[in-house]
Amino acid sequence: ASAYPFFGAHQAGITTPAQDRLHFAAFDVSSTLDRTGLIELLTEWTEAAARLTQGLEVAEGGATGGSDYAPPVDTGEALGLPASGLTITFGFGPGLFTDASGADRFGLAARRPAALEPLPRFQGDALQPERSGGDLCIQACADDPQVAVHAIRNLSRIAFGRASLRWSQLGFGRTSSTSTSQTTPRNLFGFKDGTANLKAEDGSLLDEQVWVQASDSPAWLAGGSYLVARRIRMIIENWDRVQLGEQEMLVGRSKGEGAPLSGGTEFSEPDFEATGVADKPLIDTNAHVRLAHHSSNGGARMLRRGYNFVDGNDELGRLDAGLFFLSFQRTPQQFIDVQTSLAADGLNEYLKHVGSAIFAVPGGVREGEFVGQALF
Ligand code: HEM
């Protein structure tokens, strides 16, 4: 699609077929911002996002239509480019409700979702504070990286003096399908990623696993979701020395077809009971897909929407590459349960989680409202 509607029952950018490119940004609100200022910022962000996602400049006047004596309102690099499937998804971090000193700056503390807490420490975490957390986030996805970057740049510019960039991440090559209409892409380990993902067509499973329900608490978050972001470095130089059979054993699927090692084709259900020679399970006990599967996690699933990244290289000459993992779930507990069970994942030898953040993603925006309005 060339343009997705910005307004709707849910925010776009969750069950929207995953676009090819990502620019994700986390912000800290300024210490001088008050409740009125926060509402103004969200209102301006909403107006800008409604325009940008339709392929329009950020505001009337744009890059060239204003006064010669003022900086243009739009930065201009997306002039002439179509909407490119741009979606802009906003989220609220724990710090928006109570800041580090425990102060209730915006009068929101009583409305904080009880589950919106910084994630617990997981085994193997090597988190860097400068790549973690944030009071607000914006996920911009598009099929053209210039369009996604233009969106984040102009929204950051609008926030000037009110919220500043804390960290941001570019991503390419979606690592998930979120619609059955999409072919499954590959991550930087070379494996198909997104095969068993929750998808837009999953109907009532989405209500059960992804969308916060009206019967859940708090009511203002109904129709929304919880977003977890993890910057996962992949030690690909080591991975590339691992034998094919071992790579497949660690994942639990074949590399070419992406079929479960218990047999069948890509979309066959894995059979975790199936055994081969000497009664060895065909899908290893520490295989990623076994440990991540809902049958190992009390039924917990999630909608994954991550991207590959390569951000140059480190001082040892290794690519700073990996998976920028993004998942949407009805409660953070679903992620916590799966990530806890992944402590035994054989893949961990080749992974390092260096960034982490959690956000409450409010429900969809109605025309004339601002994003998250029900919170105020
Ligand atoms: C499945 C790779 C991290 C949750 C898969 C699959 C691959 C894969 C190749 C099989 C294909 C598919 O169904 O998508 C990776 C890599 C990771 C990573 C390379 C790190 C860089 C994570 C994390 C979580 C997660 C952090 C959640 C805490 C899942 C789930 C499935 C899955 C829920 C589907 C399992 C099923 O139902 O069969 N992953 N993954 N993965 N992964 Fe990951």
Residue 264 counted as domain residue: yes
Atom of ligand 1 nearest to the CA of 351: 21
Q: How far is CA 161 from the centre of its chain?
A: 26
**DSSP structure class, residue 141:** E
Question: Rounded to the nearest whole angstrom, what is the distance from the C-alpha of residue 33 to the centroid of ligand 1?
Answer: 39
Residue 262 counted as domain residue: yes
Residue 3 counted as domain residue: no
Q: Is 293 in the pocket of ligand 1 (CB under 6 A)?
A: yes
pLDDT digits (tens, 9 = 90+) for 297-345: 999 999 999 999 999 999 999 999 999 999 999 999 999 999 999 999 9
Q: Which of 314, 16, 362 is nearest to 174 (CA)?
A: 16
Alpha carbon nearest to ligand 1 atom 14, residue: 194
Residue 254 counted as domain residue: yes
Residue 8 counted as domain residue: no
Confidence of residue 1 (pLDDT cuts 50, 70, 90): low
What's the domain range around 368? 21-375
How many domains are there within the chain?
Answer: 1
Atom of ligand 1 nearest to the CA of 253: 10
- Cα first-last separation, the chain: 33
Task: Map tokens 């975490």 to a residue.
Answer: 125
- What integer is the mean pLDDT of 254-260? 98
ipTM of the modeled complex: 0.98
Residue 2 counted as domain residue: no
Point out which residues pair with 374 in neighbouring strands.
none
Atom of ligand 1 nearest to the CA of 234: 21
Residue 15 counted as domain residue: no
Residue 7 counted as domain residue: no
pTM score: 0.97
Alpha carbon nearest to ligand 1 atom 30, residue: 292
pLDDT digits (tens, 9 = 90+) for 156-176: 999 999 999 999 999 999 888
- What integer is the mean pLDDT of 44-66? 97
What pLDDT is attached to residue 101? 86
Q: Is 253 in the pocket of ligand 1 (CB under 6 A)?
A: yes
Alpha carbon nearest to ligand 1 atom 2, residue: 193
- What integer is the mean pLDDT of 215-223? 97
**DSSP structure class, residue 375:** G
